[in-house]
Amino acid sequence: MDDVGEPNLLNDKLNLRQLILILSVFSVLMTLINSFYSMYRVQQQLIITNTIESNRVYAEKMAETTDLFIESAFSQLEYSAALLSQGMSDTKVQQQEVDRLRTQTSFFNSVVIVNSKGVIVSISPENIQLKGVQLKGDRSLQSLNAKVPLITDPFIPPSGNYLTSISYPIFSENKEYLGYIAGTIYLEQKNILNTILGKHSYKDGSYLYVVDRNRTIIYHPDAKRVGEVIDTNEAINAVTKGEKGGKPIVNSRGVDMLAGYAPVALSGWGIVAQRAEALTVATLNEQMWKVFIKSLPIGVITVLIIWVASVFISKPLWQLASILKNYESHTSTGYDLIKVKSWYFEASYLKRSFLNTLNIVSNTINQLHSDSLTDSLTGLLNRRGLDKSQDNLRIQKIPFSVLAVDIDHFKKVNDVFGHDVGDIVLKNVAEHLKLQARELDLVFRSGGEEFLLFLPKTDIYHAKYAAERIRKSIESQDFETVGHVTVSIGVAHWAAEGKPISAVLKEADDALYKAKDNGRNRTELSISS
């Protein structure tokens, strides 16, 4: 005797909505994760913003300091130029002045005087044996040609040092241009830029570098990079335009950096202070990692519970999906579906639906596969069918001949009789080609009024015979409305080795065009075949 009031477990199945409701208790965990992530993002953005601002302020400060150095250097050179305006003819006075200027300050690696003809007339230190050397080249003659106070672009003078120079023109009392005096900064050696900019602390991974107006690095902590031209860095592009500010950038080495930048007004240089973004957020990452480690045990338990529940809930659906996936390869049957224990409503309903539609799906897949390879107008194989047929012939290494067939003056048919009549002609020609083809031959519509025939195991001469038979048969046919239609045919052969099939198709196409050029309604063989 059945117990009264006992629930029917077979019919009273849970539905998916109820299961989701049960799992929603775990949404608290997702809320905590979201809060954790939001806190991290806010702190990360704050650190990044502060770092960019700090680098911007420091870059501006160092730009001002560099401007003061340049202003002081120009003042020193102006004083020397004034003295030399009356002593350019006295080599002793010249040498005393370049020695004084070089030793009085640590501004310059060397000091030179160049006369109006571009000849070095005095240099300090004297162990640089360039006295009497004639300067040549646009870069070396920048100061001479400028005739105004100038900071040159980097260049390599006869001494061989990669340098930039700060020069001041020398004029006589009657304003005659006598030459210039210049202090040089050796960019690849210890110089004043190292002294000014090298005081920046690198303990936190940040650093400064300087570029000239042409985006050439003239100072960098890595001396090997001096002279490198950078045109893909947003900070460099901005600062060489005279802009100042800060932003996240990707440097020329592909590293995410937080950069501040400022221009040096007197020289056109740009100073960039930057730090790798990864280093900036490393401390935050470490702190957040500690919080994560402490939260990990509870998280693992929660995830484990969700995982067990998910496996239990998803198992029927997974079984259904696996059976249907394997059905195409005939490794599973409808009987496998019946064995699936669909213990809740949605899985049970899906199981019944799959069983009811199994045969329909199978038939539909087969039909779709056939349709995908067939031209809808003519019923011939289409381009996809052509590609598949080529692969089969190539893999099996079956030699074949190709007939490239084109309806002559088909555009005239469309223009005179309309596209509906043109479609009828296409279908009639396609039907004619199928009737003329053997059972093993393959017939394609390759596009528009063009057709292809593959004749397996047929040499080119028998293929030409078949082509002529097809051409004459179509020529003799009386088509409805349009009357007689002719075709031109190009023939080529693939010997199952050597050239690719695509090359043979091109040869057949070329032969077809030859037939067209020779008057149409004819067959031409590919010469290379």
Dihedral over Cα of 377, 383, 385, 389: its sign: positive
Q: State the pLDDT at residue 263.
A: 94
From 60, 277, 449, 524, active-site residue: 449
Whether 375 shows a pLDDT value over 90: the answer reads no
Contact between 511 and 460 (Cβ < 8 Å) = no
Whether 9 shows a pLDDT value over 60: the answer reads no
Predicted structure pTM score: 0.50
Tokens of 137: 């080249």
Burial label for 331, CB within 10 Å (0-12, 13-18, 19+), is: exposed
Residue range 33-66, pLDDT digits in tens: 888 888 888 888 999 999 999 999 999 998 898 8
Whole-number average pLDDT of the chain: 84
Let me know if 228 is a catalytic residue. no
Least reliable range by pLDDT among 201-215, 289-303, 314-328, 370-384: 314-328
Residue percentage of the chain with pLDDT more than 90:
37
More confident residue, 313 or 61: 61
| Secondary structure letter of residue 156 according to DSSP | -
Contact between 64 and 90 (Cβ < 8 Å) = no
Burial label for 252, CB within 10 Å (0-12, 13-18, 19+), is: middle
Tokens of 321: 């999906």
Q: State the pLDDT at residue 529.
A: 62
Model confidence band, residue 28 (pLDDT cutoffs 50, 70, 90): low
Which of 268, 247, 241 has its CA nearest to residue 66?
A: 268
- Report the run of H or E that residue 120 belongs to, with start and end: strand 120-124
Report the number of secondary-structure helices (H) and strands (E) in the chain: 15, 17
Q: State the pLDDT at residue 3.
A: 45
Contact between 494 and 400 (Cβ < 8 Å) = yes
Q: State the pLDDT at residue 7.
A: 43
Contact between 337 and 361 (Cβ < 8 Å) = no
More confident residue, 121 or 13: 121
The Cα–Cα gap between 46 and 63 comes to 26
Tokens of 70: 């340049």
Q: State the pLDDT at residue 358.
A: 67
Residue range 415-425, pLDDT digits in tens: 999 999 999 99
Burial label for 343, CB within 10 Å (0-12, 13-18, 19+), is: middle
Q: State the pLDDT at residue 40.
A: 85
Q: State the pLDDT at residue 365.
A: 52
Average pLDDT over residues 500-505: 92
Whether 203 shows a pLDDT value over 90: the answer reads no
